A and B are shown apart, each in its own frame.
Chain A
Amino acid sequence: MSNEQGHNGDRYGDMFTRLNAANEGAFVPFVMLGDPDIATSLEILKALVEGGADALELGIPYSDPIADGPTIQQASIRALSHKIHPSDCFEVIRQFREIYPDTPIGLLLYSNLVIKPGLEKFYDDAANAGVDSILIADVPLRESERFVDIATKTGVKQILIAPPNASDETLAEIGKKSQGYTYLLGRAGVTGAETAATIPASELIAKLTQYKVAPPLLGFGISKPEQVKEAISAGAAGAISGSATVNIIAENLSQPEVMLSKLRDFVSAMKQATKK
């Protein structure tokens, strides 16, 4: 590992190398940290990896999530009702990291949670907890410079979003700045399993390849193994599934053991579909 990669190394790079050798794509579930509570949250992360998740995408609960549909809004509300702070979320990650040192961990959150403590402190705290990447839902390329700068300094990878309506200029810029992976939006709108991703995204993926962006993972509206398979056939390096994963938590709040078992089964089925 070179120093440039920070003290967390290059877990995404290692993951893609391993998956390429095995001829597989990545499956990355998203859940909200602290949902439904801190103790269960750690058990959920473990269950996701036991089910076969290649990496984890994790939210920090926020009061005003403008890019999220009802499912993930509710996850934030559940966590915030237990007075979950970002510091609690970092603690869950730290504990997870002790058990799973190699699983790439990405944060997906909103800008004000980063701005309030100060960029440097937030990225430092994230790096110290064992976070590999940060994606800020409401920071477009145009506002990303100071975030990318701090990311570079702290060895955290700044993940950028490639939406289906992006101009060539935007894609070229993402190509220059993206690290770790590129979050490819499967469709317009907000997060949610109700509206399916509009696959094939092959045209956009071809363009992304042309602009040499970091490996694209397709997200938004991915809830079924068939969609994972299609995403990978279309050229994506893998798929991210948030609302479908969070729905399993929401539907089994009163029976945590069933919840964990269903999460393992769901991830396992989705992971199976990544095999080419």
Chain B
Amino acid sequence: MNHLESKFGQFGGMYVPELLIPALDQLEQAFIDAQNDPEFQKEFIELLTDYAGRPTAMTLSRNLVSNPNVKLYLKREDLLHGGAHKTNQVLGQALLTKRMGKTEVIAETGAGQHGVATALACALLGLKARIYMGAKDVERQAPNVFRMRLMGAEVIPVNAGSGTLKDAVNEAMRDWSATYDKAHYLLGTAAGPHPFPTIVREFHRMIGEETRAQIMAKEGRLPDAVVACVGGGSNAIGMFADFIDEPSVQLIGVEPAGKGLHTAEHGAAIGKGTTGILHGAYSYIMQDEDGQIEESYSVSAGLDYPAVGPQHAHLSDIGRATYTAVTDDEALYAFQLLSRKEGIIPALESSHALAHALNMADEAEDGTIIVVNLSGRGDKDLAHVHSILGGETNE
């Protein structure tokens, strides 16, 4: 029996082999206990504050918005240790690993950001990390592979399937089904079987809580909209969680439209997908008419995933959050614009959210306040963007 709700409306659940149920139940119980344990909370908050650098800043953009009466704030997760929001929940799950008496951590990674976050947390807390990464991604993301190895993690290339993130998840789940006694599967996004979507949301919810406090201090009121990019959806659910019960705050998720939603090359699971099961959860997924999973595509590896976290599927269905999509080209434009206008190089993932927020700001009424979650910094994307732009940057 589950102690926490395992579904979000019709979405979510635990579609995994029976073999993994005891490990997921153990994790749920450890999470419940930890949430009620002041010692655990104290250690988590200390790590977030003293090691990772929370709270992160919130920056009012000076030069991005042409209408002086519209305000666009950037929640600066790019300033967090590790270079992205990922570090928050990884620290939480690494502490849970120790609490369960487990000594090993399994993780999957696409671009390598979750892998890097996992490697750093495991180095800090004395856990042995092995990280599955699609063979293609290992080649494309060499600097992150080196970072992980430098911090002591074992990086295992996955050749099966398409050699990308979804195949790395498959391989991590296979590993876990043989090693759950001593290993924790540290899943990297707000997807997968219960209790992962709930745990990942709760360990990222400080993003929204800090945003609320910061905007109240600066503006004395809640924002009109919060905007975040959505691949699996962890940074978005972290930003949304504290605002779900505030109907005046629009929640906007931005999916990757890749080369356009009219093409097959995108990663918009909510926008263009249909309901089904992938990696243990019922949600929106990209699939063919038989139910075979299709390859997703995005210029941004962190959004290149053919499913979405089940709570986002639910928030979309009930109309509480709105999901839209931004193309590679629009994201690349926003990437350059933020660099040039504000001196901040954003991650390509976050550039999707920014691109949409800029469109909103252009059309907004006077007095509108928008917060965009700048979920990560763009250092990891420099070589990739450089190769696309070929040395030319837009003025």
Q: Mark A158-193, 1 if CB is under 8 A from B, else 0.
A: 001111011100100000000000000100111000
Give the contacting residue for B160; candidates A73, A141, A188; CB below 8 A: A73
Asked if A253 CB lies within 8 Å of chain B CBs, one says no
Number of A-B contacts defined by CB within 8 Å: 109
B290 touches A113 (CB 8 A): yes
- Whether A112 lies near B287 (C-beta < 8 A) is yes
A163 B18 Cβ-Cβ under 8 A: yes
Q: A85-B290, A138-B277, A188-B180 are in contact. Are A63 and B17 (CB under 8 A)?
A: no
CB of B21 within 8 A of chain A?
yes
- Interface: B114 (CB within 8 A): no
> Top 8 nearest A-B pairs by Cβ distance?
A116-B291, A189-B178, A163-B19, A112-B291, A140-B18, A63-B292, A63-B293, A113-B291
Contacts of B166 in A (CB 8 A): 64
The answer to whether B17 touches A116 (Cβ under 8 A) is no
A138, B73: Cα distance in complex, Å: 43
| Interfacial chain B residues near A70, Cβ < 8 Å | 160
Q: Are B174 and A66 in contact (CB under 8 A)?
A: yes
Contact present for B293 and A64 (CB under 8 Å): yes
Closest to A65 in B: B170
User: If the complex has contacts A66-B173, A85-B290, A190-B174, are A185 and B19 also in contact, measured as CB distance less than 8 A?
Assistant: yes
- Within 8 Å CB of A248, what residues of B? none
- A116 x B15 contact (CB < 8 A): no
B85 CB → nearest A CB, Å: 27
Q: List 7 A-B contacts (CB under 8 A).
A: A67-B177, A111-B277, A116-B287, A117-B291, A140-B18, A163-B17, A190-B178
How far is B174's CA from A73's CA once the two chains are assembled, in angstroms?
Answer: 12
* Residue count of chain A within 8 Å CB distance of chain B: 42
A137 at the interface (CB under 8 A from B): yes
Does A276 have its Cβ within 8 Å of any Cβ on chain B? no
| Chain A residue at smallest Cβ distance from B275 | A115
**Is A143 interfacial (CB 8 A cutoff)?**
yes
Report Cα–Cα, A117/B289, bound state, in Å: 8
Specify which of A86, A110, A190 is in contact with B177 (CB 8 Å cutoff).
Answer: A190
**A111 CA / B14 CA spacing, docked (Å):** 11
In the assembled complex, A266 has its CB within 8 A of some CB on chain B = no
Q: What's the minimum C-beta distance from B366 to chain A, rounded to whole angstroms?
A: 48
B144 shortest CB reach to chain A, Å: 24
Task: Assess whether A62 is interfacial by the CB under 8 Å rule.
Answer: yes
Q: Please tell me which one of the listed residues B17, B274, B290, B292 contacts residue A67 in the complex, with CB atoms under 8 A apart.
A: B17
Is B259 on the interface with A (CB-CB < 8 A)? no
Contacts A137-B17, A166-B18, A167-B22 given; indicate if A115 touches B177 (C-beta within 8 A). Answer: no
- A69 is an interface residue with CB less than 8 A from chain B: yes
A141 to B180, CA, bound (A): 19
Contact A161 B17, CB 8 Å, known A70-B160, A115-B291: yes
Q: Is residue B384 contacting chain A, with contact meaning CB distance below 8 A?
A: no
Q: What is the number of residues of chain B that contact chain A, defined by CB distance less than 8 Å?
A: 36
Cross-interface CB contact of B276 among A80, A85, A115, cutoff 8 Å: A115
Known A-B contacts A64-B166, A66-B174, A143-B13; A112 and B276 likewise in contact (beta carbons under 8 Å): yes
For residue B161, CB closer than 8 A to chain A, the reply is: yes
Q: Nearest residue in A to B6 (C-beta to C-beta)?
A: A142
Q: Is the CB of B278 closer than 8 A to any CB of chain A?
A: yes
Interface pair B18/A64, CB less than 8 Å apart: no
Contacts beyond the supplied A70-B160, A189-B174: 6 A-B pairs with Cβ under 8 Å: A62-B292, A63-B161, A140-B17, A163-B17, A185-B19, A188-B178
The answer, yes or no, to whether B364 is at the interface (CB within 8 Å) is no
A139 interfacial contact with B, CB 8 Å: yes
Q: Per-residue CB proximity of A64-95 to B under 8 Å, as 1/0?
A: 11111110010001001000011000000000
B1-17 residues with Cβ-Cβ distance < 8 A to A are: 2, 13-17
Contact string against B for A residues 123-143, beta-carbon threshold 8 Å, 1 for contact and 0 otherwise? 000000000000001111111
Contacts of B140 in A (CB 8 A): none
Chain B residues whose CB sits within 8 angstroms of the CB of A73 once the complex forms: 160
B280 touches A138 (CB 8 A): yes
Residues of the B chain whose Cβ atoms lie less than 8 Å from the Cβ of A162? 18
In the complex, are the beta carbons of A142 and B178 less than 8 A apart? no
* Interface residue? B279 (CB, 8 A): yes
A64-B293, A66-B279 known; A143 vs B178 contact (CB < 8 Å): no
State A86–B277 Cα separation when bound (angstroms). Answer: 17
Considering the complex, give the chain A residue whose CB is closest to the CB of B174.
Answer: A190
Q: Which B residues are in CB contact (< 8 Å) with A161?
A: 17-19
CA distance A126 to B303 in the complex (A): 37
Closest CB-CB distance, B185 to chain A, in whole Å?
Answer: 12
CB-CB under 8 A from B291, the residues of chain A are 62, 112-117
CB within 8 Å for A112 and B14 given contacts A69-B174, A73-B160, A190-B177: no
CB distance from B16 to the nearest CB of A (A): 6
Once bound together, how far apart are the Cα atoms of A86 and B289, in whole Å?
A: 10
**Chain B neighbourhood of A80, CB < 8 A:** 292
In the bound assembly, the distance between CA atoms of A101 and B334 in angstroms comes to: 64
Q: Which residues of B contact A163 (CB under 8 A)?
A: 17-19
Give the Cβ gap from B138 to chain A, nearest Cβ, in Å: 18
Shortest Cβ distance from B184 into chain A, in angstroms?
15
A139 to B280, CA, bound (A): 9
Complex Cα distance A110/B289, Å?
A: 15
The complex places the Cα of A111 from the Cα of B20 at a distance, in Å, of: 16
> Is the Cβ of A64 less than 8 Å from the Cβ of B170?
yes
A174 to B280, CA, bound (A): 21
The answer to whether A138 and B161 touch across the interface, beta carbons within 8 angstroms, is no
Residue of A at shortest CB range from B159? A70
Which residues from A are CB-within-8-Å of B22? 165-167
Which residues from B are CB-within-8-Å of A188? 19, 177-178, 180
Given contacts A112-B291, A116-B276, contact A139 B15 (CB under 8 A): yes
Give, as a whole number of angstroms, the nearest-CB distance from B104 to chain A.
Answer: 15
Query: Are A140 and B21 CB-contacts (below 8 A) given A66-B279, A190-B178?
Result: yes
A41 to B70 alpha-carbon distance, docked (Å):
65
Given contacts A64-B166, A64-B278, A66-B170, contact A116 B18 (CB under 8 A): no
